[in-house]
A and B are shown apart, each in its own frame.
Chain A
Amino acid sequence: MLASLALAPGAFANFLTPKSGGSPNADSIAELYKLVLYIAAFVFLVVELTLLYSVYKFRAKKGAVAAQIHGNTRLEIGWTVAAGLILVVLTVITFIKLPSIINPPNSDPKGLVLSASTTEPSPPNGRKLTICVTGRQYIWRYTYGAACQQNPFTTKLPYSYQQMVAPANTTVVLVIQSTDVIHSWWIPSMGGKVDAVPGYTTYTWFKAPYAGAIYHGQCAQLCGRNHAAMTALVKVVSPTDYQAWIQQQTAAINAANQQVIQLRRVLTATGNL
């Protein structure tokens, strides 16, 4: 049920606010956005209503004479300062909200902790789960475990494509890389986007509250012809289910590897390779 809620099918989705609900950083961004929206709505109404009023009120009529005003220094200074003050307010609320957006919190006690590393953004107690996200034309690959940072392709870690599986209530740090062109990792409900730039490593994190939810996202940076098809899903499961899935995935990958090894042996022996 939560999964269908997260996918929000229907004609209209978020009209005035960004998506959230999949992670505290997304929630914080949405809160910050709403604060800005209130101020913006106020400014919008004041300016547009003044404009409408003046166009309505001061239309040329018989005998009307335009006031020959060249300016008013006090007024000029007044609205310059007012505009400046609004921006100071926006700056202050942004920097108040910022830590909750960029700093990952601790995992919940019932959450899962698999690794501790110091080279990437870390929750206060340093305990988190690391998943490497590797963008390539036109699919996302996820490699599970802190060792993925050495080389997600050669380390013998469980991996999956397109759909990520992640434990709930756990601080998950994502290590984002690209092997070809620039991609952008973005699951709207789970926080802001982070570009995957070849030659660079970027990070983000999420901490999903609900097991059973599936969040949709897709590559946000034009990466070639199949850009539109480069979708991503994050399936949130309970920590125990996550561990079971990891084992199952590892076993499945190993079995597949064994099959390939066997096939290679047969092909080599029969002279077909």
Chain B
Amino acid sequence: MSTTDYAVRPVPQIIAHEVHKPRETKKWVDWVTTTDHKKIGIMYMVTTFVFFILGGVEALLMRVQLGVPNNTLISAEHYNQLLTIHGTTMIFLFVVPIMAGFGNYFVPLMIGARDMAFPRLNALSYWLLLFGGIVFYFTLFFRPPEAGWWSYPPLSEALYSPSAGQDAWIFLIHITGISSLVGAINFYATIVNMRAPGMSWGRLPLFVWSILIYAVLLIVALPVVAAAVTMLLTDRHFGTHFFDPTNHGSPVLWQHLFWFFGHPEVYIMILPGFGIISEVIPVFSRKPIFGYKAIAAATSVIAFLAVLVWAHHMFASPVPVVVLGFFMLSSFLIGVPTGVKIFNWIATLWRGSLVMTASLYYAVGFIAIFVIGGITGIFLAIFPVDWQLNDTYFVVAHFHYVLMGGAVFTIFAGIYYWFPKMTGRLLNERAGKVSFWIMFIGFNMTFFVQHALGLSGMPRRIYTYQPGLGWSTYNLISTIGSFILSAGILVTVINIAHSFKHGRIAGPDPWKANTLEWFTTSPPPVNNFDAIPRVRSVEPMRDIRRQVERSTGVTQKTGGSERFARV
């Protein structure tokens, strides 16, 4: 990095130097051996995005199979394998780790740190994730697992699923679990210990809050599923009978253990997305976030309640009515902090001066979609109603509204927001908006009718169905929608591939943003910052910009993209 004269630099920006001496190694060796949080973050994001595409192709195959009744394109065996790999991929190899990718790249930058607390542990997290994914995907060449992503025993026991695919699934949970756990400890240590001077808990960016809570939830939930899958492994191979009802074991025990992990997992997937939205909306509204404390508190309350709602996945299982009542009420409660967040985001937009970037499109689209997912969640929390809806396409629609329309749209908002920081180039905004609209239409077309499918009595995880049950038209609409959705995603993939080389130069702070990652070059140097500024509010970058304006009398520019920064 060259040292530029302070007065002529277009934006307040740290003078940053490369701290290591230039290496003679090849580029790929640099990537494989790196402990730089930014490189690891990028590897996380690229790897998980590849898994996202794979999981998407699996979903499309299932949608093609279901497009018409009595379809024979995909056999029952392969369909069960597809649904298992799709669910497992999207959860364990895409949404959870891509949030770790964002966290890796941006948490140190946002809190003014030079790296994560344990850089080598950080690299370990990534490589475990990659190898966990490879182990799992190698089953494609043998016999993939086919008991669903929650692998209920006895179906997942050796008697009914003898193939080694089920064991590969267990190893995937173990390996990616250790990866996430190590990463979570790293995030926790980093956020607690390495914040810039003056960055008290009340000035922590909301994305960092969400990663902190994400880490805590991972630390609480992952050991439980690790124990559960170990018990399944010993049941399958070493003669134990934890879940075997013919030997005094209990299949319901698995359900409790699995969902004690499984429900916090939902919040592990969505909370960092909430964090991204809480960063994107104030920046493009040109307004402070409405109710910072309420949002941070809501994040913590959601995490607390998240470990108290697991049995709402088991309303049709043998569970006493009083327990059903408890889990209905606790699931209701979690709706309150979630609602509070939605209200706060809308209040942030209110009376703002909205700069309609692609990132904000995705953020607003996310709110619109997530409201539907939240509301259908209330239906499912009411256990007598859930008796009709559980295990049907209504549930499939619900959690895709939360995770596809929810988490994935926040991820896209994050990609459009942070891509310039990671690469130094802007994504094409017009293509981003086109991508958004195609995705938004395709998404709703795919999943809205699935509510109706569930209400009409179609259970999930069936590989085909008879005509004349009232399901055919909905299924066809859904299948067509899924291809529109994919086309929308493809536009962004092309956008990323093209902009990586040919995008417009972004400059350090293209959006006039609020947080410290924009106070360094794009992309940042290895050491991030030479000097770390003192933090005096939730919006340190804004303070710095103002301070420079006061002292120089020059309105600060963004360094390349003024059109996004009209105030």
A contact set with B: CB distance below 8 Å: 7-19, 26, 28-30, 32-33, 36-37, 40, 43-44, 47-48, 50-51, 54-55, 58-62, 64-72, 75-76, 79-80, 83-84, 87, 90-91, 94-95, 97-98, 101-102, 137, 180-182, 184, 186, 188-189, 191-195, 197-202, 216-228
Contact = CB atoms under 8 A, between A and B. Distances in A.
Interface in B464-519: 464-465, 468-474
Nearest to A187: B457
A30 B384 CA distance: 10
Contacts of B21: none
A15 B566 contact: no
B462 to A, nearest CB: 4
Contacts of B340: 76, 79-80, 83
A32 B351 contact: no
B316 A13 contact: no
A222 B452 contact: no
Given A29-B387, A101-B387, A193-B390, 14 more contacts: A7-B468, A10-B470, A16-B452, A19-B457, A29-B388, A36-B378, A66-B351, A68-B287, A83-B336, A84-B336, A91-B332, A97-B384, A182-B152, A182-B251
B367 A40 contact: no
Contacts of A94: 328, 382-384
A18 B318 contact: no
Contacts of A192: 316, 384, 386-388
Contacts of A64: 353
B456 interface: yes
Nearest to A18: B388
A50 B392 CA distance: 31
Interface string B437-457: 000000000000000100111
A228 B379 contact: no
A66 B514 CA distance: 15
A14 B351 contact: no
Nearest to A185: B316
B288 interface: yes
A153 to B, nearest CB: 15
A194 to B, nearest CB: 6
A28 B533 CA distance: 62
B463 to A, nearest CB: 5
6 contacts: A14-B456, A71-B293, A79-B343, A91-B329, A199-B251, A200-B245
A68 B154 contact: no
Contacts of B392: 220
B147 to A, nearest CB: 7
A90 B463 CA distance: 35
**Top 3 A-B pairs, shortest CB-CB distance:** A192-B387, A13-B470, A199-B245
Which one of A58, A72, A191, A223 has the greatest number of beta carbons of chain B within 10 Å?
A58
Contacts of A101: 384, 387
A222 B461 contact: yes
A76 B566 contact: no
A202 B319 CA distance: 9
A201 B352 CA distance: 58
Which one of B152, B316, B347, B470 has the greatest number of beta carbons of chain A within 10 Å?
B316
A219 B335 CA distance: 31
A68 B452 CA distance: 43
Nearest to B148: A222
B332 A90 contact: yes
Given A60-B355, A98-B384, A182-B155, A66 B285 contact: yes
A184 B318 CA distance: 11
Contact of A66 (B77, B286, B317, B382): B286
B321 interface: yes
Contacts of B293: 71
Nearest to A47: B371
Given A67-B352, A70-B288, A192-B316, A13 B457 contact: yes
Contacts of A72: 290-291, 347
A228 B72 CA distance: 13
A107 to B, nearest CB: 22
B376 to A, nearest CB: 8
Given A58-B349, A184-B391, A17 B455 contact: yes
A137 B343 CA distance: 48
B470 A66 contact: no
Nearest to B386: A192
Interface in B261-278: none
Which one of B147, B246, B336 has the greatest number of beta carbons of chain A within 10 Å?
B336
B389 A18 contact: yes
Interface string B185-211: 000000000000000000000000000
B288 A222 contact: no
B336 A181 contact: no
Contacts of B548: none
B76 A225 contact: yes
B65 to A, nearest CB: 11
B560 interface: no
A184 B146 CA distance: 18
Which one of A51, A98, A189 has the greatest number of beta carbons of chain B within 10 Å?
A51
B384 A80 contact: no
Contacts of B471: 13
A54 B375 CA distance: 21
A133 to B, nearest CB: 14
A40 B375 contact: yes
A9 to B, nearest CB: 4
Contact of B316 (A75, A193, A222): A193
Contacts of A76: 291, 294, 340, 344
A60 B286 contact: yes
Contacts of A71: 290-294
Contacts of B390: 193, 220
